[in-house]
Amino acid sequence: MLLINSFLFCGLICMLSQLILDNTKLTPGHITSILVVIGAFLDTFSIYDRIIEVVGGGALLPITSFGHSLIHGALAQAEKTGVLGILMGMFDLTAAGIVFAIIFSFIFTLIFKPRN
Amino acid sequence: MRNTKYERIANEHKADENRIGNAIIAFISGGVIGMLGEIIIEVLLGFGINRTEAIPIMIVIFIFIASLGTALGFFDNLVTKFKCGLLIPITGFAHAMTSSCLDYKNEGPIYGLGSNMFKLTGSVILYGIVSAYIFGTIRYIIGGM
């Protein structure tokens, strides 16, 4: 069941962004930024957490999940240490993704040559 | 006058077909990516890794594949084919970062690679952090934790 939900949810987000991309003047950069803000907004009242419970991995892959994990880590840390936790805990969950994205891009850039 | 009007009408009809096709392609390719993510999590769960640890591993696997594919050159062709199906998942994030790295490689390690690495993904990180900070503060005040 999680597999079907993943397919539907991830596909729906991609389809909606494709429709926005084709029918408006927004670029992929605009759309990903908007989706990140939407993801952060949805987690303000723990809506995105429930989506992840129902959908599983499909909700963790779209870029909305990046905004969700930023605010999720911030709030989890804020529960422990107070207001400063919002600043300290923001990268708790996304750190692995960002660090590996930077490291992989750096290593592959050193190894490979640009194609075009 | 007539020509511009004709072109406009022709473009509208031409674009309509492509739009529906693109949307369906994006739906299927994005759905397959989402399903693969869930499959990877299930496989990792089978190895006895718990779900909170399996999630970052799954994301790192996708980032690795997208970065390597961009560096090897075939991921660009896939993106032009599947468009948003690959740009909206985390693969698009890794693709944007690696491709901007590769584009500016010739300009040197500091002013080329270093300062242009976040050229495309910087906006995602910036608006993610700003919105997470604002919404987090609101939630903190309302929630009264």
B29 and B60, same structural domain?
Answer: yes
Q: What is the DSSP string of B48-112?
A: T--HHHHHHHHHHHHHHHHHHHHHHTHHHHHHHHHTHHHHSBHHHHHHHHHHHHHHTGGG-IIII
Residues of the domain holding B59: 2-89
Is residue B125 one of the residues assigned to a domain?
yes
Among A40, A83, A96, the residue with its CB nearest the CB of B135 is A40
Per the CB < 8 Å rule, is B41 touching A14? no
Per-domain boundaries in chain A = 2-111
d(C-alpha B116, C-alpha B112), whole Å: 6
B85 and B109, same structural domain?
Answer: no
Mean pLDDT of chain A: 91
Given this model, what pLDDT does residue A12 score?
93
Per the CB < 8 Å rule, is B131 touching A36? yes
Is residue B95 one of the residues assigned to a domain?
no
Is residue B96 one of the residues assigned to a domain?
no
Q: What is the mean pLDDT of residues A84-94?
A: 90
Residues of A in contact with B97 (CB under 8 A): 101-102, 105
B75 and B14, same structural domain?
Answer: yes
B66 and B34, same structural domain?
Answer: yes
Domain count, chain B: 2
Given this model, what pLDDT does residue B84 score?
85
Residue B15 has pLDDT above 60, yes or no: no
Residue A16 has pLDDT above 60, yes or no: yes
pLDDT digit string, tens, across residues A28-65: 999 999 999 999 999 888 899 999 999 988 899 999 99
